[in-house]
Amino acid sequence: MKNIIQTSEDVRKLGTILGVWAHPDDEVFGMGGLMATAVRNGQKVVCVTATYGEAGVQDETRWPANQLAEIRKQELQNAYKILGVSHHQWLGYPDGSCDGVDQSEAVHKLTTLINRYRPDSIMTFGPDGMTGHSDHATVSAWATRANSQAANQATIYHVIQTTEQYEAMQDVDKELNVYFNIDKPRTCESGQCDIQYELDDNVYDLKLAALRAMPSQTEAMMAKFHSDLRPCFGHETFVRL
């Protein structure tokens, strides 16, 4: 049964939400609107970020590589303040090398967090990592394994783009190589995902503000859009594992 989420009361059905992501900004792109709405509902929202994103250097003159981890940590905190998210955990693994860390250790850390927060819903990447990034795919696998080992069994949802979202990203992809390690990610037709949350104007504005609060990663991308950003970022879609 599909779960087309359209109102804050629909978001409430997701209960306590745990996001498991690879880099600071993944969660805002994927579920910024859901998080803001859930927080307003009084739901608990917890995010786990595997790395500090220190490999994501875009402009060395403005965001030096040797300072980028601290910059991105602060940017994420700024974004969370906008969205109202107050529960967050870093795993502290090296950016770009999640597939080389001790999987058992990472899964144990996530299992402990699942047992602590007892989420009803876990949001993360799908097995292809959407962009093909190995860190994305790795944290997806960790989340699945950790959930299977936890005392609390949550429903796992994989972020996905609708066909329309993917097509809207093509011009940006040509310039910035967004889908850098995959020919084409898995997509779903509009209305056929397990969750498809259409952001209202207030929530959409919060999400854009949170994205802009992370300029080291989003400034170049957002500058490429010469019209409404809503086709790319105005709805958030997931499929159930």
User: What pLDDT digit, counting tens, does each position of 157-175 carry?
Assistant: 999 999 999 998 887 788 7
Q: List 160's β-bridge partners, or say none.
A: 237
Mean pLDDT of 173-183: 81
Structure confidence by residue, pLDDT tens digits, 17-39: 999 999 999 999 999 999 999 99
CA distance 140 to 127: 6
Q: Which helix (H) or strand (E) holds 178?
A: none
What φ, ψ does residue 217 adopt, rounded to 5°? -115, -25
Give long-range contacts, CB 8 A cutoff, 24+ apart: 229-232.
230/204, 231/164, 231/165, 231/168, 232/165, 232/168, 232/169, 232/172
Report the interhelical angle of 68-83 vs 201-212 (nearest 10°): 160
167-72-147 Cα angle (round to 5): 70
Whole-number pLDDT of residue 224: 76
Write down the residue that tokens 């996905």 correspond to.
160
Model confidence at 3, pLDDT cuts 50, 70, 90, reads low
| CATH number corresponding to 8-240 | 3.40.50.10320
Model confidence at 1, pLDDT cuts 50, 70, 90, reads very low
CB contact burial 160-173 (16+ within 10 A = b; e otherwise): bbbeebbebbeebe
